[in-house]
Structure 1
């Protein structure tokens, strides 16, 4: 027969070999508690693993996002530790040098620099504080050197706020130079456009001024031509031997006496008109727009009067322009450039009062506080207080598109500044615009 085994645990027996039910129950409870604890630990491990996987996924996504941003940045980026060893670069730097990213990790930064670069790390720590740039060249994969790169540096801090390395950013200087040259070209073109507009206004005024004396001279020459025909016919008759009666009749019909009496006035008027044209041409020569001309001492009142005369000569329906100038306002500088400034300010004032039946522009000059002060004011709508500080900014204009470039006041401000003076914008008591030029006296 098979031997029967007692199912009760042997540990439940006492030393006398008897079975202890209480001990068995305690052991069973202990085993249940152990199993429950193991299940809790296992459940926690599962939860920790899921959480760890989620954090790892988020970290990978953040890393991919950062890498995509660094790859999209067109400027080069180099991250180094405190020893100057490269920790990370972006795609722009790899494209610049042609090197592989795996070959750059932990590579000393000095190994990638041209021989004449010097200690870049020393430069970096100093310029990270001072904010300076430095032009360097890197070694490329083909053994040559890259284009010059303008590098700037910033200190990289760790989680405690202590220096942990440097971050270098830069852009090839060739690209910057091309952009700068394009900007300079565009600026020069716009300034030239504004100068041509000023020249056009000047030419319109000069043409109007020249039209009067030239028309006068032309009319006198036409009259002299008719008179010469009469006198020639009279002389031909005399030379042909006509008698006295025929000669006197011809003298009366040709109005020889009135013609001879009118000749001095005609010749005097023609000479006066020619002299007026010569004066205008001489004024044009004096009002040269060349910036290279030497400064000279001149009467600002004369320049203002000429500017007022020419600036509105080609326009119709102009407002009244009132002048209040002393006998002499001596200044030193370039009269042509100051003429350009005054014409521009008067043209702006005339545009501001265009269409107003009571439009008025006042130009006053005086010597005040050791300065020569010229004020150009109008009774137009004025300058709103929120933009009065912007009127001298380049390209800022309140005129409609096609009516102004926004460079006139900017150029005028620069001209007055180069003359050692100031140009200010403000408002009159009636609300119109007022521009004040202050220049040091000669």
Structure 2
């Protein structure tokens, strides 16, 4: 009996010793982990890139201060929130799929758009690797580098190449059209004499000459697409530019029953601009508005409406173009000026269609924004600095 008790005591002492050693080992491991994390935190806080850690549910459990510089959120505002809340919807599925592959110990990299605190999209290149978080569960540690400028430069390069090709084709067509126009002009005096002899042809002749004049204006607009034309900056009356572009759409407005309103301030000063490029930007925006209201029109009782206003605000010129079409989604407002954006369900514009006016206006030192109009459709706001001749 005595030997059994001694054996039991020895086993208990052995178990106690092992437990104590295991406790010390775990404590040492915890202290080492804390020291490692402290060094890691010190390292990542000095980085320009965003470094963050996700738990197995995709929630942010750690993020460095760089996130505030890039997105406007403090780290405390992000802790405990899902990463998917901040990724732009079209990129969410791809991001989730790639993150799920990281959890099975497969490092991944991808490019995604996140929304900053003001709702503006920001491009990031994100790399993720599997880690064990403090709870012992699996997680993902990511490094996100902002690449918005890089993506825009890529888009500009592609756009420039396509515009160069399109411009050359447009100029060729415009020149061919002008040759036909000149040939028609040679016969117009003879036709005019015929109309004088047969008055019943008068209305037809009037419509023909009006249509011919519109075609001539359209040919000029097509020719303005030529990127090789070295247009000089000059003093431009933007109100006149708006009127010039409206004239090109007059027959379309009449044919489709679209109501238009022009409210142009007489206080708009002349400003230095590339006249043809500005008119082309206005042309694209007005064409977008026409297509939008045409897609919604169902009857003469519910006509399409397009309104353009101009006003001066201190040293800025504000031009607003609104319509009563189907309007823009939140995603449209964020991305409609991206070169590679095509609206879900098929929008009125082709890929990159509204990147062109955005780029032209940016070249003038201005901004182009998209939003909702009071009529429920789209509202495009152009803001340009006043640049006086000789200034």
| TM-score category of the 2 structures, normalised to the smaller one | 0.3 to 0.5
- What TM-score, normalized to structure 2? 0.46
- What TM-score, normalized to structure 1? 0.42
Which structure ranks higher in relative contact order (CA pairs < 8 Å, sequence separation ≥ 6)? 2
| Higher Cα radius of gyration | 1
